[in-house]
């Protein structure tokens, strides 16, 4: 369908300014993936029912499939590509990898960003707080236990500032 209007929008994504001309009806998800090449953000249901497309806007998770770039000018957008810093993965990414908290991996970017937002508000969240914070992200293969454990491990590592090894029980079962 032809666009009624294209707009010049300025988006700040992962700390970089981008200025582009996009049809106003293009969602943030479409612009990230198709115009900016940031394909780490996944499209799942595209209707707000899965959380695969979650990105952070000013530190809070929102669904990029239901967000318009024109409404996000002046805000700080972070995608999964922005998590790693100075050549190092974010502790959440390391913990997800260490504990096998990803199976097919499609839901992982959304989980990582929702978890990052949680850990910024609470450095030592309870299991219930983690469940609540991740209640908007669906995983259809590995289940949620490993994801919760990875968030807990990342939180522990971030609090201590060191690379705490995962507990044996978490890695191999009790």
User: What is the binding site for other proteins (CB under 8 A)?
Assistant: 1-5, 7, 23-27, 30, 43, 46-49, 51, 54, 60-63, 65-68, 70-71, 114, 132-133, 135-138
* Least separation in angstroms between CB 52 and other proteins: 11
Our CB check for other proteins shows the closer of 132 and 163 to be 132
Minimum distance from CB of 167 to other proteins (Å)?
Answer: 27
Using the minimum distance from each CB to other proteins, give the nearer residue, 61 or 82.
61
- Min separation Cβ 125 and other proteins, Å: 13
Task: Rank residues 72 and 98 by Cβ distance to other proteins and give the closer one.
Answer: 72
Q: Give rounded-to-5 percent helix, strand, coil for the chain.
A: 40, 15, 45
Chain centre distance of CA 90: 12
Q: Are 146 and 169 in contact (CB under 8 A)?
A: no
Q: For other proteins, which is the closer residue by CB, 27 or 93?
A: 27
What is the rounded CA–CA span in Å between residue 12 and residue 26? 17
Alpha helices by DSSP H, 83-136: 91-98, 108-121, 127-133
Contact 157, 163 (CB under 8 A): yes
What's the min distance (Å) between Cβ of 174 and other proteins? Answer: 26
Write down the least CB distance from residue 4 to other proteins, Å: 5
Distance CA 171, CA 145 (A): 12
Using a 10 angstrom Cβ sphere, with 0-12 exposed, 13-18 middle and 19 or more buried, the burial of residue 52 is: buried
Q: Is the Cβ of residue 38 or residue 157 nearer to other proteins in the bound state?
A: 38
């Amino acid at each position: 369908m032809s666009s009624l209007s294209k707009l010049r929008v300025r988006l700040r994504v992962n700390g970089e300014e981008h200025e582009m001309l996009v049809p106003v009806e293009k969602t943030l998800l479409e612009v990230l993936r198709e115009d900016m090449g940031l394909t780490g953000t996944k499209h799942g249901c595209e209707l707000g029912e899965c959380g695969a497309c979650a990105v952070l806007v000013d530190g809070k998770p929102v669904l990029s499939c239901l967000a318009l770039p024109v409404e996000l000018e002046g805000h700080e957008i972070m995608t999964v590509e922005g998590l790693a810093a100075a050549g190092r993965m974010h502790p959440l990414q390391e913990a997800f990898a260490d504990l096998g908290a990803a199976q097919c991996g499609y839901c992982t970017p959304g989980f990582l960003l929702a978890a990052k937002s949680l850990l910024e508000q609470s450095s030592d969240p309870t299991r219930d707080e983690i469940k609540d914070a991740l209640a908007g992200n669906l995983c259809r293969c590995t289940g949620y236990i490993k994801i919760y454990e990875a968030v807990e491990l990342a939180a522990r590592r971030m609090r201590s500032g060191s690379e705490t090894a995962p507990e044996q029980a978490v890695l191999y079962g009790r």
